[in-house]
């Protein structure tokens, strides 16, 4: 069992205000995968979008990458987590590096260095998965077992690497991806319920029929099915898509929000109780803040994706809740839309993620532009790996540089 601390670093520089431009929305592609017709983009030039991405990417590289863990090794530091290095951070790093392949000549070196770190720290439960936490001395700690969110992202990053660089070099990215995907199926998916487990250790007791909503990434599962030819991944995706709809209808009909953790996955999924694992388990907190992004990117790239309608519900509510002012987005909500007690100020994982939901709604151009201004006005914090890493990935999508596998 693990608990990652989400430090709610208030970003006072996250200011609102409509971009002062009358330019039409940018074309639906930049360097990446074409988006569906009707998908919104920020109303600024492509060069301005790319410049914003470059600014945050460079900051991320400078402040959160380290070579201290060995020759030829890179690792993503996580000063706002329980330990110095966490699995999701390495996964984010691999995905970011592969997405930036066309813009950064060092991207492949960074990617290969993070992969080397990942392979040097296998889970003690399943050696083909990554031990989820390492300390300042680069030693695996806290059980040396895996976490599903990290493994999903690492596998997806490898499929991206295969797409952008091919697998004919010193690393066979495709083979590495298939090895990890097989292990995820073996150790991190409940074979009966078809839901992602929390980790390779979560196979008994109250955890066996539980799941983390931010692990429900339809695009990743589509990529796994395509890469393996295994229809199992389509079954997992469909089961989780249905669960999102059911949770929205039953527990969040006004907001569309879904909780950090879900239990009862063996029958009718429902929000986890308070104290299940982390701080705001039944609410929309520092895990679920990623849901509009993770679901929303499927909505802008896959025709007929259920995610499009799901995130539109979230988008409609957050606009109404804030009166169209991104500065009023706060760090967490109950599923009914009330602010969580003790959570004040903004955090990028909430504000940035809602921008991907807005891209799915043709009537939200002005709102998306306000979100763009808010996100790009934020001054990154060197102690907030989580918010910075998510912001970089959101800017990759907003700027049209997203690559779908």
Average pLDDT, the chain: 92
Q: What percent of the chain has pLDDT over 70?
A: 92
pLDDT value at position 26?
34
In a domain, 262, yes or no: yes
In a domain, 22, yes or no: no
- Closest alpha carbon to 75 in 162, 316, 244, 86: 86
- pLDDT at residue 99 tops 50: yes
Give residue 311's pLDDT band: very low, low, confident or very high (50, 70, 90).
very high
- pLDDT at residue 21 tops 90: no
**Sequence-ordered strand ranges (E) for 225-316:** 261-263, 270-271
The domain total for the chain is 1
Mean pLDDT of 111-139: 98
Domain that holds residue 368: 46-398
Measured CA to CA in angstroms, residue 22 lies from 18, 19, 43, 44, 360 at distances of 11, 9, 8, 9, 21
| Marked catalytic residue, from 149, 241, 291, 361 | 149
Is 179 within 8 Å of 158 (Cβ atoms)?
A: no
In a domain, 4, yes or no: no
If you search the block for the tokens 């976490």, which residue do you land on? Answer: 147
In a domain, 404, yes or no: no
Is 281 within 8 Å of 330 (Cβ atoms)?
A: no
pTM of structure: 0.93
In a domain, 405, yes or no: no
Instruction: Give Cα 303 to chain centroid, integer Å.
Output: 21
φ/ψ bin of 142: left (φ > 0), alpha (ψ from -120 to 50), beta (otherwise): left
In a domain, 7, yes or no: no
Weakest-pLDDT range from 247-251, 282-286, 301-305, 339-343: 339-343
Q: Are strands 85-86 and 133-134 parallel, antiparallel or unpaired?
A: antiparallel
Count Cβ atoms within 10 A of the Cβ of residue 215 and give its class: 0-12 exposed, 13-18 middle, 19 or more buried.
Answer: buried
What's the CA gap between 283 and 280, in Å, rounded? 5
Active-site residue flag, 149: yes
Instruction: Give the residues across from 66 on adjacent strands.
Output: 75
pLDDT digits (tens, 9 = 90+) for 56-98: 999 999 999 999 999 999 999 999 999 999 999 999 999 999 9
Active-site residue flag, 88: yes
Tokens of 180: 């990890």
| Marked catalytic residue, from 88, 112, 279, 361 | 88
Mean pLDDT of 113-123: 98
Give residue 31's pLDDT band: very low, low, confident or very high (50, 70, 90).
low
- Spell 31-50 as b/e; 16+ CB within 10 A means b: bbbebbeebbbbbbebebbb
pLDDT value at position 343?
81
What's the CA gap between 13 and 378, in Å, rounded? 5
Largest Cα–Cα distance of the chain, in whole Å? 57
Can you give the CATH number for the domain in which 57 is found? Answer: 1.50.10.10
Mean pLDDT of 289-297: 98
Is 13 within 8 Å of 378 (Cβ atoms)?
A: yes
Q: What percent of the chain has pLDDT over 90?
A: 90
Measured CA to CA in angstroms, residue 89 lies from 76, 80, 133, 342, 376 at distances of 6, 11, 10, 26, 22
pLDDT digits (tens, 9 = 90+) for 341-398: 888 788 999 999 999 999 999 999 999 999 999 999 999 999 999 999 999 999 999 9
In a domain, 290, yes or no: yes
In a domain, 130, yes or no: yes
What's the CA gap between 40 and 49, in Å, rounded? 13
């Amino acid at each position: 069992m693990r608990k990652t601390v989400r430090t709610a670093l208030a970003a006072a520089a996250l200011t609102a205000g409509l971009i002062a431009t009358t330019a039409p929305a940018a074309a639906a592609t930049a360097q990446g995968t074409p988006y569906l017709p009707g998908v919104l983009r920020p109303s600024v030039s492509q060069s301005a979008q790319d410049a914003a991405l470059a600014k945050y990417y460079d900051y991320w590289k400078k402040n959160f990458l380290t070579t201290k863990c060995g020759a030829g090794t890179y690792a993503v530091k996580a000063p706002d987590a329980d330990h110095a290095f966490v699995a999701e951070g390495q996964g984010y790093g691999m995905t970011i590096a592969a997405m930036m392949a066309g813009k950064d000549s060092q991207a492949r070196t960074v990617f290969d260095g993070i992969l080397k770190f990942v392979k040097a720290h296998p889970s003690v439960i399943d050696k083909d998965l990554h031990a989820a936490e390492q300390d300042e001395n680069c030693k695996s700690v806290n059980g040396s077992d895996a976490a599903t969110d990290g493994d999903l992202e690492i596998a997806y990053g490898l499929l991206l690497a295969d797409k952008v660089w091919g697998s004919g070099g010193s690393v066979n990215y495709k083979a590495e991806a298939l090895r990890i995907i097989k292990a995820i199926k073996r150790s991190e998916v409940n074979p009966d319920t078809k839901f992602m487990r929390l980790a390779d250790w979560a196979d008994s007791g109250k955890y066996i029929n539980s799941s983390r909503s931010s692990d429900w990434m339809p695009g990743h599962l589509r990529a796994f099915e395509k890469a393996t030819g295994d229809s199992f991944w389509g079954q997992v995706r469909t089961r989780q898509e249905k669960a999102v709809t059911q949770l929205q209808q039953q527990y969040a009909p006004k907001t569309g929000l879904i909780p950090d953790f879900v239990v009862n996955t063996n029958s009718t999924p429902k929000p986890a109780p308070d104290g299940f694992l982390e701080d705001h388990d039944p609410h929309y907190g520092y895990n679920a803040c990623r849901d509009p992004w993770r679901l929303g990117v499927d909505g802008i790239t896959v025709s007929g994706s259920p995610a499009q309608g799901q995130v539109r519900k979230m988008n409609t509510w957050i606009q109404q809740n804030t009166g169209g002012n991104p500065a009023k987005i706060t760090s967490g909500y109950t599923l009914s839309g009330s602010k969580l007690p003790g959570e004040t100020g903004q955090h990028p994982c909430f504000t940035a993620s809602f921008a991907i939901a807005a891209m799915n709604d043709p009537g939200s151009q002005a709102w998306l532009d306000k979100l763009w201004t808010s996100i790009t006005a934020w001054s990154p914090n060197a102690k907030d790996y989580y918010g910075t890493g998510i912001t970089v990935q959101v800017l990759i999508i907003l700027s049209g540089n997203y690559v779908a596998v």
